[in-house]
Amino acid sequence: MEAARSTKEILAAVVQHVFGALLMAVGDALANYGLDRTLDPAEYAIPVIQRNAIISACQDRADAFGARAEIALALANLMPDGYDDPTVTVALRPTIDHRPREHVLTVLREATDVIAAASAHCDKIGAFFGNGSLQHLRAVLTLQRGICTVFSMAFGAGTRITRRGPMSLLITSSSGYVYGLDFHPDPRICLNPGCGALIDANTPPSQTASAPCPAGRHRPSYPAEAPQPGVWQLHS
């Protein structure tokens, strides 16, 4: 396991060791399986404590390639079932941090402008709606969480950040995972009971009745001149 150099090699090691041992116990061998005779992991079971220890070792090793999530998905289909056996124990494993020493982030200059624009937009929301207002906190906290994810090594030790929109980023990680951090403005809607009409932020409310208002006049959720409130979200 420690020698595995890729997700594939981790999975191969699991098959080799886990199923090799299970089959040997019944006088069979992995070599007897192939295209004409397939192995169904669901037909086998190991103590749940061992199962968890194997999964956790695989995930730790996968940190070396930013593939923790990928390996968890693959193992869900590959591992034998677990059963409770209080007599079984597993030896404590030294905790090894498999992540590479550095996380190298490459930020294209257009992306630095996006980050500056996003931060400035948060400031404008704070100035308009009030520092610490719900609109301000939603914007600041979601941007913060998004940027923290970009800095994390969850998807590998190399990350390239480019511009996807005026306040949105496209992130390509060395593990091959590509995702976006996008600004989603809140829809500007009428707050009158029974209305909820969408009001275009670019035209005055008097001219933009996408539907007539039961209250006579639309009451927009935020003024047209306000910096658009909204949140940043991660998208795969």
Q: Is 190 in the site for Zn ion (CB under 5 A)?
A: yes
Question: In the set 195, 227, 228, 229, which binds Zn ion (CB under 5 A)?
Answer: 195
Q: Is 188 in the site for Zn ion (CB under 5 A)?
A: no
Using an 8 Å Cβ cutoff, are 229 and 129 in contact? yes
Q: Is 75 in the site for Zn ion (CB under 5 A)?
A: no
Q: What is the dihedral of CA 91, 97, 98, 102, to 10 degrees?
A: 180
Q: Is 189 in the site for Zn ion (CB under 5 A)?
A: no
Q: What is the dihedral of CA 45, 46, 49, 54, to 10 degrees?
A: -100
Using an 8 Å Cβ cutoff, are 32 and 121 in contact? no
For the CB of residue 56, give the shortest distance to Zn ion in the complex, in Å: 54
For the CB of residue 227, give the shortest distance to Zn ion in the complex, in Å: 22
For the CB of residue 125, give the shortest distance to Zn ion in the complex, in Å: 24
For the CB of residue 210, give the shortest distance to Zn ion in the complex, in Å: 9
The 3-state DSSP class for residue 141 equals helix
Q: What is the dihedral of CA 147, 178, 235, 233, to 10 degrees?
A: 10
Q: Is 213 in the site for Zn ion (CB under 5 A)?
A: yes
Residue 164 vs 218, nearer CB to Zn ion: 218
Amino acid identity of residue 210, one-letter, is S
Q: Is 117 in the site for Zn ion (CB under 5 A)?
A: no
Which region among 10-18, 64-72, 167-175, 214-222 touches Zn ion (by CB under 5 A)?
A: 214-222
Q: Give the closest residue to 64 by CA, choosing from 105, 103, 34, 118.
A: 103
Contacting residues toward Zn ion, per CB under 5 A:
190, 192, 195, 197, 213, 218
